[in-house]
Structure formats: structure tokens, C-alpha cells
Chains A and B, each alone.
Chain A
Amino acid sequence: MSATPLNTPDVARLVMSRARWRFSEIVFWIAALATIFLVPSRHLILTEIAILGLFALSLDLILGYAGIISLGQAAFFGFGAYCAGLLATHQLVTEPVLALALAGAATAALGFVTSFLVLRGSDLTRIMVTLGIALILRELANRFDGLTGGADGLQGVTIEPLFGLFRFDMFGHTAYAYSLAVLFVLFLLARRIVNSPFGLSLRAVKGNPLRASAVGISVNGRMVAIYTIAAGYAGVAGALLTQTAQFASLDMFSFERSADVLLMLIIGGTGYLYGGIIGALIFKLMQDWLASMTPQYWQFWIGLVLVAIVIIGRERLEQLRGAIRKRILRLRPQKHAA
């Protein structure tokens, strides 16, 4: 493209190339779909993985695309969970999908309100504020035990058949298909968002806020927007857990949950959307395996993984991921220049 004059369609295609579906992505989702039919006995844990993957995806939106470190993403997870629980126990909205959407919207509203608190200040202030918000919500859920069941958790969440057709069975088949479908739809939406002009401007803001504002971008506006969206995603994840587990508890707000989701995302890698899902998969399988060896103390190994990741260096982990991705890409049917 050196001497020949540039033409609009070619350049447009070049700009949009980032958004093109890669072969490995298609394989990924076909494999995910296949698990519905091929491993029915593992649907309970797969449901959890899908939900955690969605939760980690929400964190990726703010950490990977806006650079905000949050130690309180569980605030939104828990809020969404209780919203869905209360909608169900009080028979306000019994249609699961509608209830899910409402819980997500309510959580996004909470995200919008609290986003103004994380705009100012350093990483440390943001860590403290996000942590504080999660603690406050947990405390509130604990105090208003008449409404939330307090420390006993929210009991008696029953869930109507999906679209009035599919009953939630005790083996979790419906629950898994439902969770995976929600994850897929929200993933598509997130993929669209990050590849849009808005998404591009987010990457600009993350890369250099000073310059972003010098080309006319309202840095705070973008932060508020993505924080709100991410809160909504986390809320949907929490609501999904309530619906599929038919239970909501205070530990949904806990610091450990915020920390776990951060770990998942770090294992999988930030800033390419799949990191959270892959991280959730690895995390959950690791937890399952470690817990079967040392039931109570698996947290020790999680901690060890965290320390090891940092000491080894996330860059090196990134290189490893890059190498793996390249290998997968090499399996593509037709050749394509990266």
C-alpha cells in the first residue's frame, strides 16, 4: 500500500479488521455449544463457569478497556443477585428473562450512581472506594434482614419455566443452556461495543487520558459509561446465579468474590474479552481439582497462583498466551497474514 493511492473501501476494511471473526473464536463457541449435548453430567459446574465468565467479562470491560482497578466488583454481582431473588420471591416478575434484564438494568443504575465516586483519585482511592461500596451493600443486605433474609440468605427463590416452556430441571440442563445463551448474547454485545467508535475511544482514554481530552473526548463521560455497562453485566451475572441456584446469600458481596474474579481475569488475560471466560474455566477446574485434594485449603493454592503470576510477571504470561493463540491460529484452514 505504499505508492498506490489509498481508497476508502480498503482502508475501511483495514480499520474493521480488528472486529473480524477469527477462526479460533468460531471454534471456541462451537465447542461451548457442543458441551450442552456432549457432557450433560457436568452441567452444574459448567453453569457456574458460564456465570463466572460473564462476571469476569464485566471486570474486563473496566479493567481491560478503561484501566480502572476494582476490588469491589462483587458489589454489582451481589446487587444483581438480590434483585433477581427479590423479584422472584415477591412474585413481582416471574418470567426469568425479563427478571434478568430488570436486575441487570437496576444494577447498571447503581453502577451509574457509584461511577462518579471512582472518577477521581489514584488507583489506591479507587481500590478503597470500590471495596467500600461492596462492604456497604453487604452490610445493608445484612441489616435489612426482613427483606433479604440477612445472614441466612434469601430463601425460597423459585423460578418459572423459561419462556413458559422449559422447566429448570434438577440436573441443571436448562440452567446451563440458559446461562450459556445469556453469556453468548452479552458477549456479542460487548464485542460490538469494544469494536465500535466508542470502544476505540475507550482504548484511547486508557492509553493516554491527557491526549484523549486534548482531542475532545470527555474522559469522565467515557468512564461513567463503561463503568455503568460493566455494572449491568455483573448484575446480570449475579442474577443468573440466583436464578439457577435458586438462592442468594451475603457472600455474593464478599471481598473474596471480588478477588477471585480478578484472579480469573488475570489468568485469562485482560483486554480481549475471552480472558474472563477462559480464566473462569481454568479457575473453576483448578478449584474443583484442588478442592478434591485438600477440601478446606484450596485458597492457599489460589493465593500461591496469584503470587506466582506476579513474581513471574504478567508480561510473560501474556507471551505464553500469545504463543498458544498463534498455535491455534495455525490450525486455520486458509492462510491469512496477521
Chain B
Amino acid sequence: MPIVLATENLDKRFGGIVAANDVSLQVEHGARHALIGPNGAGKTTLINLLTGVLKPTAGRIRLDGRDITELKPHERVRLGIARTFQINQLFADLTPLETLGVAISERQGSGRDWWRLAGSKKGVVEESIELIERFHLADVMSERTAILPYGKQRLLEIALAFACRPRVLLLDEPAAGVPEAERHEILATVAALPKDVTVLLIEHDMDLVFSFADRISVLVNGALLTEGAPEAIARDPNVRAVYLGEAIDA
């Protein structure tokens, strides 16, 4: 399988703190790749580097072999990297329908149209409906996002990233903080993502990781400790040491 996303010797320092240390990660096309590691290992920092929210101190990032290290976040989205956030980052005053419409219009290149009414383009509306249904948002689609139940917001968070039609989808703890009752809906949605979308998942929940991922990388103190198939990782004594040193939380 070809490599879609790769980092080469990625470094990120905040003053004296090393948040990413010589990370060279390769993600294969269509992979279900999980990134695990104890709290503070630098997982979210890595996502922020991949999406361009942070600039690396050193190293390169490649998408399909193309160097994207210098590109701005929105330019990377157009090339096919989308993400969700660990803490919901939504548009509080917009409805789910409008929220998805913004992302879809943008991707279809009509996000700057100022002379038509929003909602007047059939393609955008049809795709919004598709996403609304796929992510079980039909019952709340015209409510203000701010007042949605947390589980629905979490679904919208993923739907919004998915609306960018990413080739690589970065999921930052998609089930974090979701009550048990709504959890199943989210896990099922994540599992049902199309196979040609490459997924890089950050997660603390080991059940989810081992049921979902076909490849796992372990990040400790900003550096890659090891990488392999789930069975190999489960057996790896070094990984066990890291996780036994710190009780596996949630």
C-alpha cells in the first residue's frame, strides 16, 4: 500500500519543552492507524503539526510525497487532510445544516459566492442531507449547535471533518467525554467510514483502539516508541511498561 501521509524527523519545541522529538511516521493509504500514548505524550501536538495549526521547529511533512510543511491549515484541507478536535470546535450560532453547508460549499468552490442565497445550490443541499443522515443529525439539523446534546455535537464534529471529503481523516479522541449511552452511535459511525478514507485515530480507550485499528504507533515523550500490528503492540513489553507505569485511564 502506498504511503499517504508521512513525517520526516519532525521536531517541535516550546521553549525548553520538546513536544515532538524526531518523529518519522508513515501512514498507508486506507489504513486504520491509531496513535496511542500516555497523557502528555504529544499526540495532539502531532495532529496540530500535521494540520498546520503549529509550525514544526524542524522536519518535513509530506502528503502523497508532496511537501506540505509550509502550507497554511486551510490549504492543507483543500489537499485532503481534515481533522476533528478533542474538545468540540463548532460554530455555536449556526445550525448543523448551515455548519455542514459551509464546509461543503467551501470544498465545492462556491464558499465565496456572495450573490446567491445559501441553500440555492442543489449539489450542496443534497450533500448536506447525505451527511445529516449518515451522522444521525436529522432530528436536530435546524437547532442552534450551542444547544445540541453533547453526543450530537460530537457527531457533528466528525461530520464536519468528513464534509471536507478528506483523503486522510485525523480523529482526536472522537469518543472523549461522550456518555455511555451515546457512545455506541459514535463508535458505529467511525467504524462505518468509507474504506478509501485513511484514518489516523488518537484515542485513550484501548477497547476502541484494538477493535478499530489495523496498525498502532506508540508515542512517548514526543518520540515514537514503537509501531506495529495490534497483536504485536499488545505483547510489546516496552509498551506494557509505559502503560503499567501509568494506569490506563478511560
Contact = CB atoms under 8 A, between A and B. Distances in A.
Chain B binds chain A? yes
Interface of A: 1-2, 5-6, 8, 11-16, 18-19, 192-193, 195-201, 203-204, 207-208, 210-219, 221, 225
22 contacts: A1-B141, A8-B125, A11-B128, A16-B119, A16-B120, A19-B119, A195-B118, A196-B118, A197-B121, A197-B124, A198-B111, A198-B112, A198-B114, A200-B118, A208-B91, A212-B102, A214-B85, A215-B82, A215-B160, A216-B107, A221-B112, A225-B112
Contacts of A213: 72-74, 77
A204 B138 contact: no
A2 to B, nearest CB: 5
Given A203-B91, A213-B74, A215-B74, 5 more contacts: A14-B142, A200-B118, A213-B72, A216-B78, A219-B74
Nearest to B73: A213
A54 B72 CA distance: 36
A204 B114 contact: no
Interface residues of B, number: 53
Contacts of A215: 74, 77, 82, 102-103, 106, 160-161, 163-164
A16 B101 CA distance: 12
A11 B89 contact: no
B142 A6 contact: no
B241 interface: no
A195 to B, nearest CB: 5
B46 to A, nearest CB: 16
B190 interface: no
Given A8-B122, A198-B112, A1 B106 contact: no
B180 interface: no
Contacts of A207: 91-94
A198 B125 CA distance: 16
B50 to A, nearest CB: 12
A16 B90 contact: no
A115 to B, nearest CB: 16
Nearest to A222: B112
A197 B101 contact: yes
A198 B106 CA distance: 9
A211 B89 contact: yes
B235 interface: no
Contacts of A208: 89-92
A6 B77 CA distance: 28
B132 interface: yes
B110 interface: yes
A217 B106 contact: yes
B7 interface: no
B129 to A, nearest CB: 5
A214 B89 contact: yes
Contact of A192 (B82, B99, B115): B115
Contacts of A2: 138-139
Max count, chain B CB within 10 A of own CB: residue among A11, A15, A208, A225: A15
B114 A6 contact: no
Nearest to B103: A215
B67 interface: no
Contact of B102 (A14, A193, A201, A225): A201
B147 interface: no
Given A15-B98, A204-B91, A207-B94, A192 B74 contact: no
A201 B160 contact: no
Contact of B160 (A1, A15, A211, A219): A211
Nearest to B106: A216
Given A204-B91, A208-B90, A214 B125 contact: no
A8 B117 contact: no
Contacts of B117: 16, 19, 192, 195-196
B91 to A, nearest CB: 4
B106 A201 contact: yes
A281 to B, nearest CB: 26
Nearest to A1: B138
B119 A214 contact: no
B163 A210 contact: no
A27 B117 CA distance: 23
A197 B98 CA distance: 9
B159 to A, nearest CB: 11
A15 B118 contact: yes
Contacts of A221: 112
A196 B115 contact: yes
A199 B94 CA distance: 12
B103 A216 contact: yes
A218 B73 CA distance: 9
A11 B114 CA distance: 20
Interface string B67-99: 000001110011000110100011111100111
Nearest to B97: A15
A217 B119 contact: no
A15 B101 contact: yes
A1 B132 CA distance: 12
A192 B114 contact: yes
